Structure 1
Amino acid sequence: MQELTTVETVHEERSWLFTVQNQYGEQEEVILVPCDDDTEQGSTSSQPAADDGVEAWVNRCTHESQRLDTGQGVPMRDGQLICPRHGSMFDVCSGHCDNGDAAGTTLPSVNITVSSDDTVFLTDYELTFVHEGGIDEDDGPDSTSHISL
């Protein structure tokens, strides 16, 4: 088991992005999101109730592999994750989408466990925690020059 964060942090930030690596060395982004049937997305309370949960989903829409969290948190409304590209909405607790281009699909899940002290652990033994945050996709040159010919 690999310790990730706390339920309180996920609820305060509304999502928590991290990077994992599979047994083949490939990296993937994962998002933790608050999951509670009674969650009010507009609530300003930062303290989760004792029965609030957390779910972990691979950070990509099932339609075109668009990242749900682009590094600034997952867009959410009324208990649904929103794909920023086409607007498909996924239930935060089940990962299922019943509208838009991704209708009829479900986000790939990642196994996590929440301890009695509300610490969230990665328990998907096919994955290894790499770091908090997304995959560094800046593969381009370090130059800031914008010279064009």
Structure 2
Amino acid sequence: MPAGARLTTVEDVRDDGSFLFTATNSFDMDEEIIVVPCDEEVAADGGAPVDGEGGVAAWINRCTHEAQRFDTGRGVPMRDGEIICPKHGSMFDACSGECNNGEAAGTALPDVEVVVADGEVFLADDEYTFEHEGGIDDGEDGPSSTSHVGF
């Protein structure tokens, strides 16, 4: 088993469309991270194959244009292997993180290293420490608001 926290399975990411978790970065700040299906056979950095099933990739949960969250608690909006910014519609390749359209064109999402072993996804990035599944406000005390209204 790889070092690092077990996050989920590749099958669950594919079935649910994405996985959201919170981790603390090297500056002791909480970050939301998304894990999405990646159908290419190489990691986002062009490295070794992710796994035999096509794999997953992990990204910081915000658009590079205006820090808009992709997953607001309802999953990551995706179409044809691209992550869609819900605010302006910029689309990021799920495997490379690169955007070539809209307000975020020419940018790339910050990646978070994960590894897959026997179909299970593990956090492998030394810059992050797993805190909990879900968003920042979804910790043990629950969300800061019970409203289900989204804007």
The normalised TM-score by structure 2 is: 0.81
Tell me if structure 1 keeps the 8 A contact 2:61–2:71: yes
1:5 alignment counterpart = 8
For 1:8 and 1:36, the matched residues in 2 are separated by: 13
1:147 alignment counterpart = none
2:114 pairs, out of 103, 108, 112, with 112
1:44 alignment counterpart = none
User: Structure 2: which 5+ residue stretches go unaligned?
Assistant: 42-50
2:73 pairs, out of 37, 62, 71, with 71
Number of residue pairs aligned between Structure 1 and Structure 2: 131
The normalised TM-score by structure 1 is: 0.82
Give the secondary structure class of the aligned counterpart of 1:136: helix
RMSD, matched Cα: 2.1
Deviations 1:69-113 (A, max 9, x none): 111001111111000000000001100000000000000000111
User: Structure 1: which 5+ residue stretches go unaligned?
Assistant: 39-48, 145-149
- Does residue 18 (structure 1) correspond to residue 21 (structure 2)? The answer is yes
Cα deviation for residue 22 of structure 1 reads 1.5
For 1:121 and 1:22, the matched residues in 2 are separated by: 16
Cα deviation for residue 16 of structure 1 reads 0.2
Letter paired with 2:99? C
Letter paired with 2:126? Y
Cα deviation for residue 126 of structure 1 reads 1.4
Larger Rg: 1
1:56 alignment counterpart = 58
Cα deviation for residue 2 of structure 1 reads 1.1
